[in-house]
Protein backbone atom coordinates (compact mmCIF):
# COMPACT_ATOMS: atom_id res chain seq x y z
CA UNK A 1 0.00 0.00 0.00
CA UNK A 2 1.41 3.37 -0.94
CA UNK A 3 2.34 5.55 2.02
CA UNK A 4 2.68 9.28 2.28
CA UNK A 5 4.06 11.53 4.97
CA UNK A 6 3.73 15.25 5.26
CA UNK A 7 3.70 18.08 7.78
CA UNK A 8 1.03 20.74 8.03
CA UNK A 9 2.46 23.85 9.71
CA UNK A 10 -0.33 25.77 11.43
CA UNK A 11 -0.72 28.29 14.19
CA UNK A 12 -1.46 27.06 17.69
CA UNK A 13 -4.76 28.04 19.29
CA UNK A 14 -5.33 28.67 22.97
CA UNK A 15 -7.56 26.03 24.54
CA UNK A 16 -11.23 26.99 24.48
CA UNK A 17 -13.14 27.33 27.73
CA UNK A 18 -16.12 25.63 26.10
CA UNK A 19 -16.06 21.90 25.36
CA UNK A 20 -15.56 21.28 21.63
CA UNK A 21 -18.01 19.09 19.71
CA UNK A 22 -17.26 16.80 16.76
CA UNK A 23 -19.31 14.63 14.43
CA UNK A 24 -17.27 11.55 13.51
CA UNK A 25 -18.08 9.68 10.28
CA UNK A 26 -16.59 6.21 9.91
CA UNK A 27 -17.53 4.90 6.46
CA UNK A 28 -16.22 1.56 5.20
CA UNK A 29 -17.25 0.77 1.63
CA UNK A 30 -16.02 -2.21 -0.37
CA UNK A 31 -15.61 -0.79 -3.88
CA UNK A 32 -13.23 -3.46 -5.21
CA UNK A 33 -15.40 -6.61 -5.17
CA UNK A 34 -16.01 -7.84 -8.75
CA UNK A 35 -19.71 -8.54 -8.10
CA UNK A 36 -20.76 -5.35 -6.30
CA UNK A 37 -17.81 -2.98 -6.67
CA UNK A 38 -19.39 -0.71 -9.30
CA UNK A 39 -22.60 -0.51 -7.29
CA UNK A 40 -20.73 0.37 -4.11
CA UNK A 41 -18.59 2.97 -5.88
CA UNK A 42 -21.69 4.94 -6.80
CA UNK A 43 -23.25 4.33 -3.38
CA UNK A 44 -20.10 5.78 -1.81
CA UNK A 45 -20.43 8.88 -3.98
CA UNK A 46 -24.12 9.58 -3.40
CA UNK A 47 -23.96 8.70 0.30
CA UNK A 48 -21.57 11.60 0.76
CA UNK A 49 -23.14 14.05 -1.68
CA UNK A 50 -26.76 13.49 -0.62
CA UNK A 51 -26.35 12.90 3.11
CA UNK A 52 -22.98 13.17 4.86
CA UNK A 53 -21.92 16.47 3.25
CA UNK A 54 -25.35 17.97 3.98
CA UNK A 55 -25.34 16.87 7.63
CA UNK A 56 -21.82 18.22 8.15
CA UNK A 57 -22.69 21.56 6.58
CA UNK A 58 -25.77 21.91 8.77
CA UNK A 59 -24.23 20.89 12.11
CA UNK A 60 -21.40 23.37 11.64
CA UNK A 61 -24.01 26.03 12.46
CA UNK A 62 -24.00 24.66 16.02
CA UNK A 63 -20.22 24.53 16.26
CA UNK A 64 -19.60 20.91 15.33
CA UNK A 65 -16.20 20.10 13.89
CA UNK A 66 -16.06 17.30 11.34
CA UNK A 67 -13.92 14.15 11.49
CA UNK A 68 -14.39 12.06 8.35
CA UNK A 69 -12.68 8.67 8.18
CA UNK A 70 -13.57 7.50 4.68
CA UNK A 71 -12.23 4.01 3.93
CA UNK A 72 -12.80 2.37 0.54
CA UNK A 73 -10.99 0.55 -2.25
CA UNK A 74 -7.88 -1.39 -1.31
CA UNK A 75 -7.78 0.21 2.14
CA UNK A 76 -10.92 -1.64 3.24
CA UNK A 77 -9.83 -4.43 5.57
CA UNK A 78 -10.46 -6.01 8.95
CA UNK A 79 -7.32 -4.40 10.37
CA UNK A 80 -8.28 -0.91 9.17
CA UNK A 81 -11.77 -1.30 10.62
CA UNK A 82 -10.75 -2.68 14.01
CA UNK A 83 -7.92 -0.15 14.44
CA UNK A 84 -10.18 2.76 13.50
CA UNK A 85 -13.01 1.68 15.79
CA UNK A 86 -10.76 0.94 18.76
CA UNK A 87 -8.69 4.12 18.42
CA UNK A 88 -11.57 6.58 18.09
CA UNK A 89 -11.76 9.03 20.99
CA UNK A 90 -14.85 11.08 21.77
CA UNK A 91 -16.08 13.86 24.03
CA UNK A 92 -19.48 13.84 25.73
CA UNK A 93 -21.26 16.01 23.14
CA UNK A 94 -19.80 14.24 20.10
CA UNK A 95 -21.80 12.32 17.48
CA UNK A 96 -20.48 9.04 16.04
CA UNK A 97 -21.83 7.72 12.73
CA UNK A 98 -20.67 4.35 11.31
CA UNK A 99 -21.83 3.23 7.85
CA UNK A 100 -20.75 0.01 6.13
CA UNK A 101 -21.52 -0.98 2.55
CA UNK A 102 -20.31 -4.33 1.25
CA UNK A 103 -20.68 -8.06 1.70
CA UNK A 104 -21.99 -9.50 4.94
CA UNK A 105 -23.19 -12.81 6.29
CA UNK A 106 -25.28 -14.11 9.15
CA UNK A 107 -23.53 -14.25 12.54
CA UNK A 108 -25.12 -17.64 13.23
CA UNK A 109 -25.85 -18.49 16.83
CA UNK A 110 -24.19 -15.34 18.14
CA UNK A 111 -26.06 -12.21 17.06
CA UNK A 112 -29.02 -11.18 14.93
CA UNK A 113 -26.73 -8.53 13.44
CA UNK A 114 -24.41 -9.67 10.61
CA UNK A 115 -20.71 -10.25 10.22
CA UNK A 116 -19.08 -7.56 8.04
CA UNK A 117 -16.76 -9.11 5.44
CA UNK A 118 -14.65 -5.93 5.04
CA UNK A 119 -13.33 -7.09 1.63
CA UNK A 120 -11.83 -10.20 3.27
CA UNK A 121 -12.30 -13.78 2.04
CA UNK A 122 -11.13 -15.44 5.25
CA UNK A 123 -14.11 -15.87 7.58
CA UNK A 124 -11.77 -15.53 10.55
CA UNK A 125 -11.22 -11.91 9.51
CA UNK A 126 -14.90 -10.96 9.32
CA UNK A 127 -15.92 -8.25 11.79
CA UNK A 128 -19.03 -8.68 13.99
CA UNK A 129 -21.27 -5.66 13.46
CA UNK A 130 -22.50 -5.84 17.05
CA UNK A 131 -18.86 -5.57 18.25
CA UNK A 132 -18.34 -2.46 16.13
CA UNK A 133 -21.39 -0.79 17.63
CA UNK A 134 -20.69 -1.75 21.24
CA UNK A 135 -17.07 -0.60 20.96
CA UNK A 136 -18.10 2.76 19.52
CA UNK A 137 -20.90 3.15 22.07
CA UNK A 138 -18.42 2.61 24.91
CA UNK A 139 -16.72 5.87 23.92
CA UNK A 140 -19.57 7.73 25.62
CA UNK A 141 -20.52 10.09 22.79
CA UNK A 142 -23.82 11.93 22.97
CA UNK A 143 -25.17 10.00 19.98
CA UNK A 144 -23.86 6.78 18.40
CA UNK A 145 -25.49 5.38 15.27
CA UNK A 146 -24.20 2.34 13.37
CA UNK A 147 -25.66 1.24 10.03
CA UNK A 148 -24.69 -1.83 8.00
CA UNK A 149 -25.92 -2.11 4.42
CA UNK A 150 -25.05 -5.72 3.71
CA UNK A 151 -26.50 -9.18 3.44
CA UNK A 152 -27.41 -11.14 6.51
CA UNK A 153 -27.19 -14.20 4.23
CA UNK A 154 -25.95 -14.20 0.61
CA UNK A 155 -25.74 -11.38 -1.93
CA UNK A 156 -28.72 -11.04 -4.28
CA UNK A 157 -29.03 -9.70 -7.81
CA UNK A 158 -29.94 -6.20 -9.02
CA UNK A 159 -33.54 -5.05 -9.08
CA UNK A 160 -35.00 -1.75 -10.25
CA UNK A 161 -36.26 1.29 -8.41
CA UNK A 162 -36.64 5.03 -8.98
CA UNK A 163 -36.23 7.66 -6.26
CA UNK A 164 -38.42 10.73 -5.94
CA UNK A 165 -35.45 12.95 -6.61
CA UNK A 166 -32.92 12.91 -9.43
CA UNK A 167 -29.25 13.56 -9.99
CA UNK A 168 -27.96 17.11 -9.59
CA UNK A 169 -25.05 18.10 -11.82
CA UNK A 170 -24.78 21.61 -10.39
CA UNK A 171 -23.87 23.11 -7.02
CA UNK A 172 -25.19 21.71 -3.73
CA UNK A 173 -27.57 23.69 -1.51
CA UNK A 174 -29.21 23.23 1.88
CA UNK A 175 -32.48 25.08 2.45
CA UNK A 176 -34.03 26.01 5.80
CA UNK A 177 -36.40 23.03 5.89
CA UNK A 178 -33.64 20.50 5.27
CA UNK A 179 -31.39 22.15 7.86
CA UNK A 180 -34.21 22.07 10.41
CA UNK A 181 -34.88 18.37 9.78
CA UNK A 182 -31.20 17.43 10.03
CA UNK A 183 -30.77 19.31 13.30
CA UNK A 184 -33.87 17.66 14.73
CA UNK A 185 -32.56 14.18 13.89
CA UNK A 186 -28.97 14.67 15.04
CA UNK A 187 -29.15 17.24 17.86
CA UNK A 188 -32.40 16.35 19.62
CA UNK A 189 -31.53 12.70 20.34
CA UNK A 190 -29.01 11.01 22.61
CA UNK A 191 -28.13 7.36 23.10
CA UNK A 192 -27.38 4.71 20.52
CA UNK A 193 -28.96 3.03 17.51
CA UNK A 194 -27.77 0.00 15.52
CA UNK A 195 -29.36 -0.76 12.14
CA UNK A 196 -28.97 -3.63 9.67
CA UNK A 197 -30.47 -3.46 6.20
CA UNK A 198 -31.63 -7.10 6.32
CA UNK A 199 -32.77 -9.63 8.93
CA UNK A 200 -31.04 -13.00 9.50
CA UNK A 201 -31.12 -15.35 6.48
CA UNK A 202 -31.97 -12.44 4.14
CA UNK A 203 -29.98 -10.72 1.40
CA UNK A 204 -29.66 -6.98 0.84
CA UNK A 205 -30.48 -6.15 -2.76
CA UNK A 206 -28.89 -3.61 -5.09
CA UNK A 207 -30.96 -1.52 -7.48
CA UNK A 208 -30.80 0.94 -10.31
CA UNK A 209 -32.06 4.48 -9.77
CA UNK A 210 -32.06 8.03 -11.03
CA UNK A 211 -28.87 8.46 -9.01
CA UNK A 212 -27.24 5.43 -10.62
CA UNK A 213 -26.53 1.97 -9.25
CA UNK A 214 -26.90 1.69 -5.47
CA UNK A 215 -28.98 -0.39 -3.04
CA UNK A 216 -32.60 -0.22 -1.91
CA UNK A 217 -31.78 0.64 1.71
CA UNK A 218 -29.33 3.49 1.03
CA UNK A 219 -31.63 4.89 -1.64
CA UNK A 220 -34.55 4.98 0.78
CA UNK A 221 -32.40 6.61 3.47
CA UNK A 222 -31.28 9.35 1.08
CA UNK A 223 -34.88 9.88 -0.03
CA UNK A 224 -35.87 10.46 3.60
CA UNK A 225 -33.30 13.21 4.16
CA UNK A 226 -33.69 14.86 0.74
CA UNK A 227 -37.46 14.64 0.24
CA UNK A 228 -39.51 13.33 3.16
CA UNK A 229 -38.03 14.80 6.35
CA UNK A 230 -37.72 18.43 5.12
CA UNK A 231 -41.51 18.49 4.71
CA UNK A 232 -42.23 16.77 8.03
CA UNK A 233 -42.60 18.87 11.18
CA UNK A 234 -42.20 15.88 13.54
CA UNK A 235 -39.17 13.83 12.52
CA UNK A 236 -37.81 10.94 14.59
CA UNK A 237 -35.51 7.98 13.93
CA UNK A 238 -38.04 5.28 14.79
CA UNK A 239 -40.68 6.58 12.38
CA UNK A 240 -38.11 7.17 9.65
CA UNK A 241 -36.68 3.66 9.93
CA UNK A 242 -40.19 2.18 9.91
CA UNK A 243 -40.90 3.97 6.64
CA UNK A 244 -37.58 2.83 5.19
CA UNK A 245 -38.26 -0.78 6.20
CA UNK A 246 -41.70 -0.73 4.56
CA UNK A 247 -40.45 0.90 1.36
CA UNK A 248 -37.47 -1.43 0.99
CA UNK A 249 -39.56 -4.51 1.73
CA UNK A 250 -42.18 -3.54 -0.86
CA UNK A 251 -39.62 -2.61 -3.55
CA UNK A 252 -37.61 -5.82 -3.13
CA UNK A 253 -40.73 -7.99 -3.12
CA UNK A 254 -42.09 -6.26 -6.22
CA UNK A 255 -38.85 -6.39 -8.20
CA UNK A 256 -37.33 -9.67 -7.00
CA UNK A 257 -40.07 -11.61 -5.23
CA UNK A 258 -37.76 -11.88 -2.21
CA UNK A 259 -37.86 -10.63 1.38
CA UNK A 260 -35.59 -7.92 2.79
CA UNK A 261 -36.57 -6.60 6.20
CA UNK A 262 -34.44 -3.93 7.86
CA UNK A 263 -34.04 -4.32 11.62
CA UNK A 264 -32.64 -2.23 14.45
CA UNK A 265 -32.23 -1.80 18.20
CA UNK A 266 -33.20 1.71 19.27
CA UNK A 267 -31.85 3.10 22.54
CA UNK A 268 -32.40 6.76 21.68
CA UNK A 269 -34.13 9.33 23.86
CA UNK A 270 -35.28 12.89 23.14
CA UNK A 271 -33.03 15.62 24.56
CA UNK A 272 -32.41 19.32 24.12
CA UNK A 273 -29.83 20.33 21.54
CA UNK A 274 -26.38 21.11 22.96
CA UNK A 275 -25.41 24.80 23.16
CA UNK A 276 -23.75 26.36 20.14
CA UNK A 277 -19.97 26.62 20.36
CA UNK A 278 -17.11 27.65 18.13
CA UNK A 279 -15.60 24.74 16.15
CA UNK A 280 -12.32 23.32 17.38
CA UNK A 281 -9.26 24.32 15.41
CA UNK A 282 -7.15 21.44 14.02
CA UNK A 283 -3.99 20.70 15.97
CA UNK A 284 -1.35 23.42 15.67
CA UNK A 285 1.47 21.26 14.34
CA UNK A 286 0.82 17.88 12.79
CA UNK A 287 3.12 15.24 11.33
CA UNK A 288 0.86 12.80 9.53
CA UNK A 289 1.92 9.40 8.24
CA UNK A 290 -0.67 7.05 6.84
CA UNK A 291 -2.69 5.92 3.87
CA UNK A 292 -5.00 7.92 1.63
CA UNK A 293 -7.96 7.78 4.02
CA UNK A 294 -5.83 9.28 6.82
CA UNK A 295 -4.64 12.11 4.58
CA UNK A 296 -8.13 12.77 3.24
CA UNK A 297 -9.44 12.93 6.80
CA UNK A 298 -6.89 15.63 7.66
CA UNK A 299 -7.65 17.59 4.48
CA UNK A 300 -11.37 17.53 5.30
CA UNK A 301 -10.68 18.65 8.86
CA UNK A 302 -8.67 21.65 7.68
CA UNK A 303 -11.03 22.75 4.88
CA UNK A 304 -14.03 22.33 7.18
CA UNK A 305 -12.45 24.72 9.67
CA UNK A 306 -11.39 27.26 7.05
CA UNK A 307 -14.93 27.34 5.65
CA UNK A 308 -16.62 27.58 9.07
CA UNK A 309 -18.50 30.83 9.54
CA UNK A 310 -18.51 30.23 13.32
CA UNK A 311 -14.73 30.10 13.63
CA UNK A 312 -12.64 33.18 14.36
CA UNK A 313 -11.91 35.06 11.12
CA UNK A 314 -8.21 35.51 11.92
CA UNK A 315 -7.84 31.78 12.70
CA UNK A 316 -9.55 30.87 9.42
CA UNK A 317 -7.21 33.15 7.49
CA UNK A 318 -4.09 31.85 9.27
CA UNK A 319 -5.15 28.25 8.66
CA UNK A 320 -5.73 29.03 4.98
CA UNK A 321 -2.26 30.58 4.66
CA UNK A 322 -0.67 27.55 6.35
CA UNK A 323 -2.58 25.13 4.12
CA UNK A 324 -1.54 26.99 0.97
CA UNK A 325 2.06 26.29 1.96
CA UNK A 326 1.62 22.53 1.33
CA UNK A 327 -0.07 23.04 -2.06
CA UNK A 328 1.61 23.40 -5.44
CA UNK A 329 1.95 27.08 -6.36
CA UNK A 330 -0.01 26.69 -9.59
CA UNK A 331 -2.61 24.30 -8.15
CA UNK A 332 -6.07 24.74 -9.68
CA UNK A 333 -8.86 23.60 -7.36
CA UNK A 334 -11.81 21.96 -9.11
CA UNK A 335 -15.30 22.32 -7.62
CA UNK A 336 -17.40 19.28 -8.45
CA UNK A 337 -21.16 18.87 -8.93
CA UNK A 338 -23.26 17.12 -6.31
CA UNK A 339 -23.52 14.08 -8.59
CA UNK A 340 -21.36 12.75 -11.36
CA UNK A 341 -17.91 14.03 -12.28
CA UNK A 342 -18.95 17.42 -13.63
CA UNK A 343 -16.59 20.31 -12.82
CA UNK A 344 -18.79 23.33 -12.06
CA UNK A 345 -15.97 25.80 -11.36
CA UNK A 346 -12.17 26.16 -11.13
CA UNK A 347 -9.99 28.48 -9.06
CA UNK A 348 -6.30 28.97 -8.28
CA UNK A 349 -5.54 27.73 -4.78
CA UNK A 350 -4.96 31.23 -3.39
CA UNK A 351 -8.31 32.52 -4.70
CA UNK A 352 -10.10 29.40 -3.48
CA UNK A 353 -8.73 29.66 0.07
CA UNK A 354 -9.38 33.39 0.20
CA UNK A 355 -12.99 32.86 -0.81
CA UNK A 356 -13.84 29.97 1.52
CA UNK A 357 -12.22 31.72 4.50
CA UNK A 358 -14.44 34.80 4.10
CA UNK A 359 -17.68 33.57 2.50
CA UNK A 360 -20.94 33.92 4.45
CA UNK A 361 -23.03 31.79 2.05
CA UNK A 362 -20.72 28.78 1.92
CA UNK A 363 -21.66 26.19 4.53
CA UNK A 364 -19.03 23.51 4.02
CA UNK A 365 -16.22 22.22 1.81
CA UNK A 366 -15.34 18.53 1.55
CA UNK A 367 -12.63 16.72 -0.37
CA UNK A 368 -13.74 14.54 -3.28
CA UNK A 369 -10.28 13.51 -4.46
CA UNK A 370 -6.65 14.64 -4.25
CA UNK A 371 -3.15 13.81 -5.44
CA UNK A 372 0.08 14.32 -3.55
CA UNK A 373 3.64 14.00 -4.82
CA UNK A 374 6.50 12.25 -3.04
CA UNK A 375 7.52 15.52 -1.36
CA UNK A 376 4.15 15.80 0.36
CA UNK A 377 2.91 18.62 -1.90
CA UNK A 378 -0.73 18.56 -2.97
CA UNK A 379 -0.73 18.63 -6.76
CA UNK A 380 -4.44 18.04 -7.44
CA UNK A 381 -7.54 18.84 -5.41
CA UNK A 382 -11.22 18.24 -6.16
CA UNK A 383 -13.83 19.46 -3.66
CA UNK A 384 -17.58 19.62 -3.21
CA UNK A 385 -19.12 22.77 -1.75
CA UNK A 386 -22.44 23.14 0.06
CA UNK A 387 -24.17 26.53 0.08
CA UNK A 388 -27.05 28.07 1.97
CA UNK A 389 -30.12 28.30 -0.21
CA UNK A 390 -31.38 31.88 -0.37
CA UNK A 391 -35.03 32.51 0.39
CA UNK A 392 -37.17 33.69 -2.49
CA UNK A 393 -40.67 35.15 -2.69
CA UNK A 394 -41.59 33.32 -5.86
CA UNK A 395 -41.81 29.77 -7.15
CA UNK A 396 -40.80 28.37 -10.52
pLDDT in tens, the chain (396 residues): 333 444 443 333 323 333 579 999 999 999 988 877 788 999 999 999 999 999 999 999 899 999 999 999 889 999 999 999 999 999 999 999 999 999 999 998 899 999 999 998 888 899 999 999 999 999 999 999 999 999 987 443 344 445 567 889 998 999 999 999 999 999 999 999 999 999 999 999 999 888 999 999 999 999 999 999 998 877 899 999 999 999 999 999 999 999 999 999 999 999 999 998 888 888 744 345 668 888 888 899 999 999 998 888 888 899 999 999 999 999 999 999 999 889 999 999 999 999 999 888 899 999 999 999 888 899 999 999 999 986 544 343
CA distances (Å), origin 211, targets 39, 125, 148, 165, 218:
11, 33, 20, 8, 11
Q: Say how far residue 245 (Cα) sits from the centre of its chain.
A: 21
Vertex 270: Cα angle to 24 and 274 (nearest 5): 50
CA distance 157 to 43: 16
Residue 30 region by backbone torsions, left for phi larger than 0, else alpha for psi between -120 and 50, else beta: beta
CB 2 within 8 Å of CB 284: no
What is the model's pTM? 0.88
Contacts of 304 (CB under 8 A, 6+ apart): 56, 60, 65, 66, 279, 364, 365, 366
User: What are the structural domains, with CATH classification, of the chain?
Assistant: 17-270 (3.40.50.1460), 286-388 (3.10.450)
pLDDT at 163: 53
Rounded Cα–Cα distance for residues 72 and 157 (Å)? 22
Q: Characterise 315 by phi-psi region: left (phi > 0), alpha (psi -120 to 50), beta (else).
A: alpha
Amino acid sequence: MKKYSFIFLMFALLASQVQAKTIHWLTFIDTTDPSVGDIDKNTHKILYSHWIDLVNATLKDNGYSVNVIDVYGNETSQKKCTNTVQNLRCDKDDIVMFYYVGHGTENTGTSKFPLLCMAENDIRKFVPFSWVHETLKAQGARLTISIAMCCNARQGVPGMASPEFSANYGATYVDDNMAKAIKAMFLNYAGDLIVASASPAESSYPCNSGLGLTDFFTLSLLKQFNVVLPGNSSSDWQSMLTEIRTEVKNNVMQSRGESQTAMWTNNLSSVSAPPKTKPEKPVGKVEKKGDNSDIKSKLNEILTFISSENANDDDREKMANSFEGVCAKKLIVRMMSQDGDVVVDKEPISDFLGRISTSSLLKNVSVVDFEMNQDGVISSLKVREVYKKKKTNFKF
